Structure 1
Amino acid sequence: MLGATGTIGRATVRALLARGHEVVCFVRPRSDAITIPGATVRTGDVSDPVSVARDGFRGEHFDAVVSCMASRTGVPRDAQAIDHQAHVNVLEAARSAGVTQFVLLSAICVQKPLLAFQQAKLAFEAQLTASGLTYSVVRPTAFFKSLSGQVARVQQGRPYLVFGDGRLTACKPISDADLGAYLGGCLDDEARWNRVLPIGGPGPAITPLDQAEHLFALLGRKPNIRRVPVGLLDAIIGGLDVAKRIVPRLADKAELARIGRYYATESMLVLDPATGRYDADATPSTGSDTLFDYYARLVRGEAMAERGDHAVF
């Protein structure tokens, strides 16, 4: 199991254990002790093929690899190192360990690959699907944590920010628990084998405006929504692209701005290649947790938002 210390990774480990699997988690070394209840934890460096084989697989036989591993920032250097090369390292070691099945958490946004991390994910997807292993490539829609960054600001009395009219994009958000259960099920459900699997959470697709209106309703307040022009992001990106010629380290900030613009303007739904439009009806759903139920738990203080690295706000 890779990526076991992230929120989705932890949920996936719980789902695998609940299904009776023996789980070994390969994680980065840290100064504090790492424990994952019910699982064996091994530490090493996924960027080093020797460490993957020596510290991860240890010459033992494994039936399957499940990966929830992803680059933290999505900038080109990190994307190439983690989203692509680290997975290649694991795939090669997995073959030697007798692995016959590989479940990969990818992302639905690779359907329209305009960014470095999307290209890196697609490159590994291609290698995995050509590897001869039984594979499941899972492409989820938006995560609850990535859509919850404005709950605290609204509770503080500040406006909810949307791009354009708030209806530029839509998604079917999926919870960590529901996604973890789906990933775990890929090991046993033959209908999910050797397939690329887009997946969203339950219910209809929702827009940023829907999210804002529901949040204000939960708080019993009149909606206070501020519309931000997409052109603002374009101006920021343009300025950083110019500035990075003088200060190269600004290249990463420019890429992060492009990632923000992508999520602000592209829906996280199945893309119809014939029409170039996103199709909510064609986006499969799973689970029972809804984003609005999660918002209610946040408002009541029963949950804490763990924001994703690619959250726009």
Structure 2
Amino acid sequence: MFALMIAKTIIFRSGRFFGPTLVTCASKSVVSSNFAPGTPVRPTSLLVVGATGTLGRQIVRLALDEGYDVRCLVRPRPTPADFLRDWGAIVVNVDWEGKVALIQCAKAMGIQKFVFFSIHNCDKHPEVPLMEIKYCTERFLQDSGLNHITIRLCGFMQGLIGQYAVPILEEKSVWGTDAPTRIAYMDAQDVARLTLIAMRNEKLNGKVLTFAGPRAWTTQEVITLCERLAGQDANVTTVPISVLRFTRQLTRFFEWTNDVADRLAFSEVLASDTVFSAPMTETYKLLGVDPKDIVTLEKYLQDYFTNILKKLKDLKAQSKQTDIFI
């Protein structure tokens, strides 16, 4: 048993689970049953589910640095999670049955704190399965009687590297849409740091917090920034939002393409005239964090391009030296 469990979307701490609670989501009902109190465990024990993800790995790294005992549940995959073991975490493979058992265990064990990672504006887009599930989970938590915090996220800076930075450097196509969506990207390391601070703050029980970066960016603004830092133009391929809508409607006709349609529905929201951002002044005060300590997108991408261009320059120099000796 663990004092804390961290999933892609969940953090648990030792305490109690109260029920029954009924929540309806997409015409389906979920009922929680009464369970006996869990076994007391050390407050420094953590279980992380989805630890190889963008945010999960940052939480594991930070928690280990702060002295937590961390165990990670990961899905069996060709690329193993060896880096988690190297850091000092215990890694256990988990499949579907393991996920079911984990949920049942979470209800039965003593839980002190439950932190749920959701998506900003999830309550406004019930047509998108991922966002609907997030919002349903938020409602379930509110009715569960658990001490909990819901953290809504806007977007990770780390995702921009593969989406824009690398294709620009490799002179490949950069895909975008013609919609004016603005997203306040945040460094996943900052998200992990603020999460652990919020988790330890008892005054935040029951709160819904939105973690957003210092500024909301459009796709074109991000591409322009990457072009300036890379010192070269991007080969941009623009996909009209109307094409996304048509493709999503088409894939809904076939059962085997439902997952594709769900992903396109989420992409369509991201490509709409939406702002994924929220004021952070009050959140910084609640967490006792100085806004100046939050990484800006300019600084994040500048550090990336500076490091990668230096490595490319060094490799080119080494290549020239080899040519001379040959």
TM-score (norm 2): 0.66
Name 1:40's counterpart in structure 2.
Answer: 90
Q: Which string of whole-angstrom CA distances, capped at 9 and with x for unpartnered residues, describes residues 82-120 of structure 1?
A: xxxxxxx1xx42343222211122221413222111111
Structure 1's 155 and 26: CA in aligned 2 closer, same or farther, altered over 3 A? closer
Q: Which amino acid in the other structure matches residue 190 of structure 1?
A: E
Unaligned runs of 5+ in 1: 53-88, 271-278, 304-313
Work out which of the residue numbers 221, 241, 251 in structure 1 matches 2:252.
241
Unaligned runs of 5+ in 2: 1-47, 285-290, 310-326
Q: Aligned equivalents of 1:44 and 1:258: distance in 2?
A: 28
Of all paired residues, the percent bearing the same amino acid is: 23
Q: Which amino acid in the other structure matches residue 290 of structure 1?
A: T
Work out which of the residue numbers 96, 120, 125 in structure 1 matches 2:133.
120
Q: Aligned equivalents of 2:88 and 2:165: distance in 1?
A: 33
Name 2:54's counterpart in structure 1.
Answer: 7
Q: Aligned equivalents of 1:22 and 1:131: distance in 2?
A: 27
Q: Could you tell me whether the CA contact under 8 Å between 1:8 and 1:176 is conserved in 2?
A: yes
More strand by share: 2
Name 1:85's counterpart in structure 2.
Answer: none
- CA RMSD of superposed structures (Å): 3.0
Name 1:255's counterpart in structure 2.
Answer: 262
Structure 1's 188 and 281: CA in aligned 2 closer, same or farther, altered over 3 A? closer
Name 2:40's counterpart in structure 1.
Answer: none
Name 2:189's counterpart in structure 1.
Answer: 177
Q: Aligned equivalents of 2:177 and 2:81: distance in 1?
A: 42
Name 2:31's counterpart in structure 1.
Answer: none
SS at match of 2:242: helix
Structure having the higher Rg: 2
Instruction: Write the mapping of 1:122-201 to structure 2, written as runs, cut at 5 A.
Output: 122-148=135-161, 149-158=163-172, 160-164=174-178, 168-201=180-213
Q: Aligned equivalents of 2:261 and 2:132: distance in 1?
A: 17
Q: Aligned equivalents of 1:281 and 1:161: distance in 2?
A: 30
Q: Aligned equivalents of 1:301 and 1:97: distance in 2?
A: 46
Q: Could you tell me whether the CA contact under 8 Å between 2:114 and 2:149 is conserved in 1?
A: yes
Q: Which amino acid in the other structure matches residue 274 of structure 2?
A: S
Q: Which string of whole-angstrom CA distances, capped at 9 and with x for unpartnered residues, describes residues 38-67 of structure 1?
A: 333344346446743xxxxxxxxxxxxxxx
Q: Which amino acid in the other structure matches residue 257 of structure 1?
A: L
Structure 1's 129 and 302: CA in aligned 2 closer, same or farther, altered over 3 A? farther
Work out which of the residue numbers 85, 108, 114 in structure 1 matches 2:120.
108
Name 1:19's counterpart in structure 2.
Answer: 66
Higher deviation after alignment, 24-33 or 232-241: 24-33
Q: Aligned equivalents of 2:257 and 2:248: distance in 1?
A: 10
Q: Which string of whole-angstrom CA distances, capped at 9 and with x for unpartnered residues, describes residues 177-229 of structure 1?
A: 1111111112212343211111112x222211211111111122357655442
Q: Aligned equivalents of 1:112 and 1:45: distance in 2?
A: 32
Instruction: Write the mapping of 1:88-99 to structure 2, written as runs, cut at 5 A.
Output: 89=103, 92-99=104-111
* Higher-RCO chain (CA-CA 8 Å, sequence separation at least 6): 1
Q: Could you tell me whether the CA contact under 8 Å between 1:186 and 1:193 is conserved in 2?
A: no
Name 1:59's counterpart in structure 2.
Answer: none
Once the two structures are TM-superposed, the CA of residue 268 in structure 1 deviates from its matched residue by 5.0
Higher deviation after alignment, 224-233 or 170-179: 224-233
Q: Aligned equivalents of 2:157 and 2:265: distance in 1?
A: 21
Once the two structures are TM-superposed, the CA of residue 135 in structure 1 deviates from its matched residue by 0.6
Name 2:300's counterpart in structure 1.
Answer: 294
SS at match of 1:204: coil
Q: Which amino acid in the other structure matches residue 130 of structure 1?
A: D
Structure 1's 161 and 3: CA in aligned 2 closer, same or farther, altered over 3 A? closer
Q: Could you tell me whether the CA contact under 8 Å between 1:204 and 1:280 is conserved in 2?
A: no
Q: Aligned equivalents of 1:49 and 1:141: distance in 2?
A: 26
Q: Could you tell me whether the CA contact under 8 Å between 2:52 and 2:81 is conserved in 1?
A: no
More helix by share: 2
Q: Which amino acid in the other structure matches residue 10 of structure 1?
A: R
Name 2:272's counterpart in structure 1.
Answer: 265
Q: Aligned equivalents of 1:30 and 1:161: distance in 2?
A: 28
Q: Which amino acid in the other structure matches residue 128 of structure 1?
A: L
Residue correspondences, number: 250
Structure 1's 187 and 237: CA in aligned 2 closer, same or farther, altered over 3 A? closer
Name 2:33's counterpart in structure 1.
Answer: none
Q: Aligned equivalents of 1:268 and 1:39: distance in 2?
A: 37
Q: Could you tell me whether the CA contact under 8 Å between 1:159 and 1:226 is conserved in 2?
A: yes
Once the two structures are TM-superposed, the CA of residue 290 in structure 1 deviates from its matched residue by 2.6
